[in-house]
Amino acid sequence: MIPRHARAIALSLLPVISLPAGAAPSGWRQLNLPVGVTSISRDAYDLHMLAIYVCILIGIAVFGAMIYAMINFRKSKGAVADRTLTHSTKAEVIWTAIPAFILIFLAWQTVPALIHIEDTRDSDMTIRITGYQWKWHYEYMGEGVSFYSALGERSNTARQRNAALRPAEVDHYLLEVDEVLVLPVGAKIRYLISANDVIHAWWVPELGIKRDAIPGFINEGWFRIDQPGTYRGQCAELCGKDHGFMPIVVEALPPEEFAAWLAARRPAAQAALASSQP
Amino acid sequence: MSDTTHHGPPTGIRRWLFTTNHKDIGTLYLVFSLVMLFVGGAMAMIIRLELFQPGLQFVNPEFFNQMTTLHALVMVFGMIMPAFAGFANWMVPLMIGAPDMALPRLNNFSFWILPFAALMLVSTLFMPGGGPASGWTLYPPLVLQTGDAFPFVIFSVHLLGISSILAAINIIVTIMNMRTPDMPLLKMPLFVWTWLITAYLLILVMPVLAGAVTMLFTDQFFGTSFFQAAGGGDPVLFQHIFWFFGHPEVYIIILPSFGIISQIIPTFSRKPLFGHDSMVYATASIAFLSCIVWAHHMFTVGMPLAGQLYFMLSTMLIAIPTGVKIFNWTATMWRGSLSFETPMLFAIAFLFLFTFGGFSGVMMALTPADIQYHDSYFIVAHFHYVLVPGAMFAAIAGVYYWLPKWTGHMYDERLGKIHFWLSAISVNLTFFPQHFVGLAGMPRRIPDYALQFADLNAFMSIGGFLFGLSQLLFLWGVVRCMRGIGDKATDRVWEGAQGLEWEVPSPAPYHTFDTPPVVK
């Protein structure tokens, strides 16, 4: 969504400035916004990096001027104040106009990405997400498949005060659930999101999605996952005592595997499974 | 401060209870604010202690949420707003050549509401069900799950709001009516200007907050459904009303800071403020824009596209007048004759770190990126940068700047410099890494976190403890001056100081400007 030349400007700055986009996942990447696996998350990442570079350039100019003044106009070095320098229409016009142009540039980069986010047309499937204190409920619309997804057992044990199990001993501590949300790769997935009690927010950084789940409202959005994998997130809106303990885990499967998974979870398949067991 | 000319104030507790003197009331506000700094600070220490390591070691999640909520309410309504009200009480009459505030009894009343409101707010911690735990934003429906504390929280917010409105009315009336005849509006010092504009903002938005919490109150107890979906209400409506108050509120906090910085930088640059009039216009523009951008706090609630576009673009506009201010301060230092006493050090730290907080502010205006930043530690880092090394450093700078005028004694410069360096370093150790954990996916307001955030959280906690301890040096420095320890201050105090407040003796006599002074 970000025009190519803007990316080129950003990329040309990369060697000069740290926070490289392509660093190892264990290094700087974990300290920066994830690039993610949807067009929405990549747009957010590109805008984020562009804004950082713009801020760094402005920072060099502004902080540079401040530091220059602090070094060169010290009384201890014999500087004498120029008490006539109290106004300059030219300078003031310049430093009002330049930020205005920078902001117009940023806005021009941002608007298409925002319009893209809101375009929920032509979706391939719809899921319904409902927030509860303190778990999520997922429903595959029209498939008859739905389930709750709560904090995983081992995390739930380790997060108690004076627990015998230590957080360090739990894989994906606080970011694991009992039932993961399984979704297909490549499909345009529309989500409808609401809540049953208080406001929650469904946030998966690598999908670039954060949307409030509000009782009495149904919010709508979409994403299309490009790569198979497991993506973890958390509730982002304070929702009571266990707000920190209602994570989200999305497992993205290739379409065929997803279809097989969904078929096995359909009520008919579940009933057959139940009756085949004595 | 008991240096009187014709009649003395009562002594002991009666002096402080019944005082109508702007200097006494200013002192009361400032001392109250200092006490609340340590109350709110203790809560921050509990938060950082629990977040020092993954897992829950010290407090339950319920109590943790009460700490985050009350830390914010105490710091915003108990610490920083009363601090600036204290500065206004002490300095506005001195700066405009007025003998006192226009409405002295109202002044006494607006202060004495505060301690009771704050006491009621903090006492909710000991009520069945504990204190408010819904965040300082008090979003329904969550806030409606508060226990017995609920009506007390609402009532204390009402009282704090009434106190602020009364103080604001008093400040406007004083500035409009009691300036020395030589002082037209555009000749007023910038601190007076920023407070005049702040006071109008307060009168505009505090009643809106009062209305919002009253609607919460009737939803809870009188069967209304303003914000309850089950009764046909709208939880998002509260957020709109709250942030219509809440966004101007952040400028209510920062504009007086701008005013203080605009007094200090010229003094220590030995040069008049660059672009005085454009500073006034920039302040007014910021105040106006602050009232029309509120929903940028709500980009994830599901607004229509047009709404998101409007709030994004209008928010970006704020960068322009704010930039003008930063550039004007830099130009004030340009070709000056700079010296670096403690007030100037804090003012320069403000200049750098507030600008830094402004950068993350511009980033957050970009809606698609803000959807990632929203409610993560990135926003926690942003608003702490503009509030701690922003507003709070400005207040500290102001205290060091005017303390000799208030007490007649110089603070200990070496102690002040140690306080500055410890604060400036530790504030960055605490808040800078919060950008990174936020970007990496750590939500705000959680008592426990995933393991990849552990190292940086331990680091931030150590920075936080150091910052908290450093403020004890500030307390020590202030108490020394109040007890009369330290060199006698001259009337002008600072070589480059300009303005009416430096024409009166140090300490400022109990009554000043019985006849209007002449502005040179």
Q: E strand or H helix at B240, and its extent?
A: helix B235-269
Is B164 catalytic? The answer is: yes
Inter-chain residue contact A55 with B359, CB threshold 8 Å:
yes
From the list B61, B141, B270, the residue facing A244 with the nearest CB is: B61
Inter-chain residue contact B359 with A117, CB threshold 8 Å:
no
Pick the catalytic residue: B179, B297, B409, B435? B297
pLDDT, position A18:
40
B360, B372 contact by CB (below 8 A): no
* Separation between Cα atoms, residue B240 and residue B46, nearest integer Å: 31
From the list B309, B316, B371, the residue facing A103 with the nearest CB is: B316
Average pLDDT value for residue range B487-499: 94
From the list A31, A55, A199, the residue facing B436 with the nearest CB is: A31
A97 touches chain B (CB under 8 A): no
Shortest Cα–Cα distance, B54 to chain A (Å): 7
Can you tell me which residue has the tokens 């065929």?
A: A256
- CA A4 remoteness from chain centre: 23
A268, A256 contact by CB (below 8 A): no
Is B14 catalytic? The answer is: no
Q: How many CB pairs under 8 A join A and B?
A: 277
Strand bridging mode A125-132 / A189-195:
parallel
From the list A34, A58, A217, the residue facing B302 with the nearest CB is: A217
Average pLDDT value for residue range B238-256: 96
Q: What are phi and psi of B376, to 5 degrees?
A: -105, 180
Residue A34: asked if its preceding bond is cis (omega within 30°), the reply is no
B238, pLDDT greater than 90: yes
Is B134 catalytic? The answer is: no
* Separation between Cα atoms, residue B91 and residue B254, nearest integer Å: 17
Sign of torsion over alpha carbons B163, B165, B169, B171: positive
Work out the percent of chain B whose per-residue pLDDT is above 90.
Answer: 96
Q: What is the pLDDT of residues B265-297, one digit of tens each?
A: 999 999 999 999 999 999 999 999 999 999 999
* Separation between Cα atoms, residue B141 and residue A214, nearest integer Å: 9
Enumerate residue ranges in chain A where pLDDT < 70.
1-29, 277-278
* Separation between Cα atoms, residue B179 and residue B188, nearest integer Å: 9
Is B322 catalytic? The answer is: yes
In a domain, B17, yes or no: no
**Chain A residues inside the 8 Å CB shell of B269:** 73, 81
pLDDT, position A9:
47
Is B2 catalytic? The answer is: no
pLDDT, position A278:
57
Q: Which amino acid is at B348?
A: I
Inter-chain residue contact B236 with A236, CB threshold 8 Å:
no
Terminal C-alpha separation, chain A: 56
In a domain, B461, yes or no: yes
Candidates B400, B406, B389; CA nearest to B28 is B406
CATH value at residue B215: 1.20.210.10
**Chain B residues inside the 8 Å CB shell of A115:** 305
From the list B313, B335, B375, the residue facing A236 with the nearest CB is: B375
Q: E strand or H helix at B328, and its extent?
A: helix B319-333
Average pLDDT value for residue range B306-310: 95
In a domain, B514, yes or no: no
In a domain, B131, yes or no: yes
Sign of torsion over alpha carbons B517, B518, B519, B520: negative
Average pLDDT value for residue range B175-192: 95
CB pairs under 8 A, 24+ apart, for B115-120?
A: B115/B32, B116/B159, B117/B77, B117/B156, B117/B159, B117/B160, B117/B163, B118/B32, B118/B36, B118/B74, B118/B77, B118/B78, B118/B156, B118/B160, B120/B152, B120/B155, B120/B156, B120/B159
Shortest Cα–Cα distance, B284 to chain A (Å): 15
- Three-state DSSP class for residue B318: coil
Is B251 catalytic? The answer is: yes
Number of compact structural domains in chain B? 1
A168 touches chain B (CB under 8 A): yes
Token pair listed for A82: 């120029």
Candidates A211, A200, A204; CA nearest to A242 is A200
Residues contacting B327, CB < 8 A, separation 6+: A62, A91, A92, A95
In a domain, B185, yes or no: yes
DSSP string, A6-45: HHHHHHHHTTTSSS-TTS-TTTGGGGS----SSHHHHHHH
Shortest Cα–Cα distance, A34 to chain B (Å): 7
CB atoms within 10 A of CB B392: 23
A25 touches chain B (CB under 8 A): no
Nearest CA in chain A to B273: A86
Token pair listed for A129: 């997400």
B94, B504 contact by CB (below 8 A): yes
Is B249 catalytic? The answer is: yes
Residue scoring higher pLDDT (B5 or A236): A236
Q: What is the pLDDT of residues B447-471, one digit of tens each?
A: 999 999 999 999 999 999 999 999 9
Average confidence score pLDDT of chain B? 95
Token pair listed for B426: 């530790």
* Separation between Cα atoms, residue B496 and residue B478, nearest integer Å: 23
Inter-chain residue contact A96 with B320, CB threshold 8 Å:
yes
pLDDT, position B12:
85
pLDDT, position A277:
67
- What ipTM is given for this predicted complex? 0.91
B36, pLDDT greater than 90: yes
In a domain, B6, yes or no: no
Is B435 catalytic? The answer is: no
From the list B334, B368, B448, the residue facing A114 with the nearest CB is: B368
Inter-chain residue contact A85 with B447, CB threshold 8 Å:
no
Q: Among A1, A33, A57, A171, which would you mutate to test the B interface (most chain B Cβ atoms within 10 Å of its Cβ)?
A: A33
Inter-chain residue contact B368 with A161, CB threshold 8 Å:
no
Query: Does residue B210 come out as left (phi exceeding 0), alpha (psi in the -120 to 50 range) or beta?
Result: alpha
Inter-chain residue contact A115 with B305, CB threshold 8 Å:
yes
In the 8-state DSSP scheme, what is residue B58?
S
pLDDT, position B38:
97
Inter-chain residue contact B330 with A92, CB threshold 8 Å:
no
In a domain, B510, yes or no: no
Token pair listed for B478: 């202030």
From the list A41, A44, A99, the residue facing B323 with the nearest CB is: A99
**Chain A residues inside the 8 Å CB shell of B440:** 30-34, 205
From the list B135, B320, B348, the residue facing A238 with the nearest CB is: B135
* Separation between Cα atoms, residue B404 and residue B477, nearest integer Å: 12
Q: What is the pLDDT of residues A122-154, one digit of tens each?
A: 999 999 999 999 999 999 999 999 999 999 999
- CA B149 remoteness from chain centre: 25
A40 touches chain B (CB under 8 A): yes
Is B163 catalytic? The answer is: yes
Candidates A159, A171, A170; CA nearest to A243 is A159
Nearest CA in chain B to A111: B309
Domains defined for chain A, CATH in brackets: 4-117 (1.10.287), 125-276 (2.60.40.420)
In a domain, B507, yes or no: no
Pick the catalytic residue: B270, B444, B492, B511? B444
DSSP string, A47-90: HHHHHHHHHHHHHHHHHHHHHHHHHHSBGGGT----TT-S--HH
Q: How far is CA B456 from CA B244, B422, B443, B444, B453, in A?
A: 34, 20, 14, 14, 6
- For residue A231, the cross-strand partners are A250
**Chain B residues inside the 8 Å CB shell of A209:** 371
Q: Which domain holds residue B349?
A: 22-502
Token pair listed for B401: 């700047």
Helix then strand then coil, in percent of chain B rounded to 5, is 70, 0, 30
Shortest Cα–Cα distance, B467 to chain A (Å): 23
A18 touches chain B (CB under 8 A): no
Inter-chain residue contact B376 with A75, CB threshold 8 Å:
no
Pick the catalytic residue: B48, B325, B384, B405? B325
pLDDT, position A258:
97
Write down the H helix ranges in B341-412: 342-365, 367-373, 377-386, 393-407
* Separation between Cα atoms, residue A201 and residue A235, nearest integer Å: 5
Is B495 catalytic? The answer is: no
Q: What are phi and psi of B228, to 5 degrees?
A: -105, 115
In the 8-state DSSP scheme, what is residue B317?
H
